[in-house]
A = this chain, B = another copy of it.
Amino acid sequence: MNILIFNEYRHEKQEEAVRKIYPNGIHGARADLFRADGHTVKTVTLDDENCGIDRDVLEWADVLFWWGHIAHREVPDEVAALVRDAVLNGMGFVGLHSAHNSKPFRLLMGTACSLRWRSVSKERIWTVSPGHPIAQGVPQQFVLEQEEMYGEYFNIPTPDELVFLGWFSGGEVFRSGVTYRRGLGKVFYFQPGHEGFPTFYDPTIQTILRNAAAWAGRTCRGNVLDCPHTKALEEA
């Protein structure tokens, strides 16, 4: 599978504490994971020209993982629109953590994707669709000792499938893992993954990332953006 990984890559450059956790960037940690599984991986970052994203790389990609946090606005609108169109035409999209607020995810949802937040909390993640491909190998519940709290009301469309719910020690709940179909492509949003914690090294989180890649990966390729004019198939 061809996996494209986008990372904002600012925290790691600017903050020693983050760099210590992810010395090769958050994208690097995920790239290692997928490469070890035999996938072909390409990483791009916000400071690459046009975020390193053009039609060719999106045609190449079977699935795009997106992580961003503090600089969503610097992603050009044209890049976000290209990503949306690539999803409609069959590419998978996995939004991680603050990608809820990223331009491509918001375009694909049609909502503000707003939520309540707080810096640090203990999180317990519950599997509410244990038969779902993304939940295979994931226990009924598991703990992240430190995560950024994202809480309801989460302004998203009704998910096609609700896979995970988050419980936070501060009293909040969150739809932490949700899926959508958009055109020919599939979308998965997953809430954990703050830059300040080693979440992406957690083995259960890695299982979910692997499952997400397999589930969201392209099943077909097409052009469903245009409105074809057609002839009648039956005689009146």
B-contact 0/1 string along A145-158, CB 8 Å cutoff: 00001011111011
Look across to chain B and name the residue whose beta carbon is closest to the beta carbon of A131. B184
Cβ-defined contact, A110 with B108, below 8 A? yes
- A236 proximity list for chain B (CB < 8 A): 121-122, 169-170
Cβ-defined contact, B161 with A158, below 8 A? yes
Question: Known interface pairs A114-B226, A183-B131. Does A232 touch B170 (Cβ–Cβ under 8 Å)?
Answer: yes
Segment touching B, from A37-45, A192-200, A217-225: A217-225
B-contact 0/1 string along A78-92, CB 8 Å cutoff: 000000110010100
Q: How far is the CA of A171 from the CA of B185 in the complex (A)?
A: 27
Q: How far is the CA of A162 from the CA of B153 in the complex (A)?
A: 12
- A115 proximity list for chain B (CB < 8 A): 227
Look across to chain B and name the residue whose beta carbon is closest to the beta carbon of A170. B232
Cβ-defined contact, A112 with B224, below 8 A? yes
Count residues of A near B (Cβ-Cβ below 8 Å): 73
Cβ-defined contact, A131 with B219, below 8 A? yes
Cβ-defined contact, A131 with B170, below 8 A? no
- A121 proximity list for chain B (CB < 8 A): 232, 236
Q: How far is the CA of A127 from the CA of B219 in the complex (A)?
A: 15
Cβ-defined contact, B110 with A109, below 8 A? yes
A interface residues, Cβ below 8 angstroms from B: 84-85, 88, 90, 101, 107-112, 114-118, 121-122, 124, 126-133, 136, 140-141, 149, 151-155, 157-158, 160-162, 165-173, 175, 180-186, 219-220, 222, 224-234, 236
A sample of 9 cross-chain residue pairs with beta-carbon separation below 8 angstroms, ordered by A number, consists of A90-B131, A124-B171, A128-B152, A130-B184, A136-B219, A158-B180, A167-B173, A169-B232, A170-B236
